[in-house]
Amino acid sequence: MDAMIMPDNVIHKAATLLRRLEEDYPRLRFVASNRFSWHAGKQLISYSETALHNTRGEWALLHELGHALLGHTDYTSDMELLRIEIAAWDKARELSNNYRLRINEEYIQDSLDSYRDWLHVRSTCPTCHEHCLQTTRSSYRCSNCGTGWQVTQSRLCRPYRKTQKKSL
């Protein structure tokens, strides 16, 4: 019987967090979707209803709320993306105290590591393997050997990562 009772309790708990956030942040819209993301233009946080049934989903929701409260819009460089991800987790950590949640620090660092790895790959010169600075949103140039290379603008496919371009 426990197996049948458990999910309801979990669902109830997640629904409570969502409801509290909706009450506490009436200017934001919370919309069920298949992923967690913050859409600055629409002032909308999308969330996965299924994922909200577990703790990680709650952390993801607070992370997106972090983006929202910090007014994150779009980023212009890979480094900036990493910076806003760090900032959103800092904010989520702060918010978690208000909702009696505790975000696992390892989970945060794992998430940030995936950005760091991504940044590392993109910023390494294909010719001499020096670390380089990004010149435009989609290109890097090596100050050591002069090699230039393009990077895609597609971002990491992590459900809680996405920030939407602000539509003015």
CB nearer Zn ion, residue 2 or residue 71: 71
Residue 127 vs residues 122, 123, 142: alpha-carbon distances, Å: 13, 12, 9
For residue 88, state whether it binds Zn ion (rule: CB under 5 A). Answer: yes
CB nearer Zn ion, residue 13 or residue 155: 155
Q: Is 33 helix (H, G, I), strand (E, B) or coil?
A: strand
Q: What span, in angstroms and rounded, lies between the C-alpha atoms of 125 and 146?
A: 9
Site for Zn ion in 111-130 (CB under 5 A): 125, 127-128, 130
Q: Give CA angle at 71 (67, 77), nearest 5°.
A: 75
Residue 62 near residue 89 (C-beta atoms within 8 A): no
For residue 161, state whether it binds Zn ion (rule: CB under 5 A). Answer: yes
Nearest distance from residue 56's CB to Zn ion, in Å? 14
| CA 90 from centroid of its chain's CA atoms | 11
Q: Is 83 helix (H, G, I), strand (E, B) or coil?
A: helix
Nearest distance from residue 88's CB to Zn ion, in Å? 5
For residue 147, state whether it binds Zn ion (rule: CB under 5 A). Answer: yes
Name residues whose C-beta falls within 8 Å of residue 159's C-beta, 6 or more positions apart in sequence. 35, 36, 37, 48, 51, 60
For residue 144, state whether it binds Zn ion (rule: CB under 5 A). Answer: yes
CB nearer Zn ion, residue 18 or residue 88: 88
Question: Segment near Zn ion (CB under 5 A), from 48-56, 100-108, 116-124, 145-153?
Answer: 145-153
CB nearer Zn ion, residue 76 or residue 144: 144
For residue 39, state whether it binds Zn ion (rule: CB under 5 A). Answer: no
Binding site for Zn ion (CB under 5 A): 85, 88, 125, 127-128, 130, 142, 144-145, 147, 161
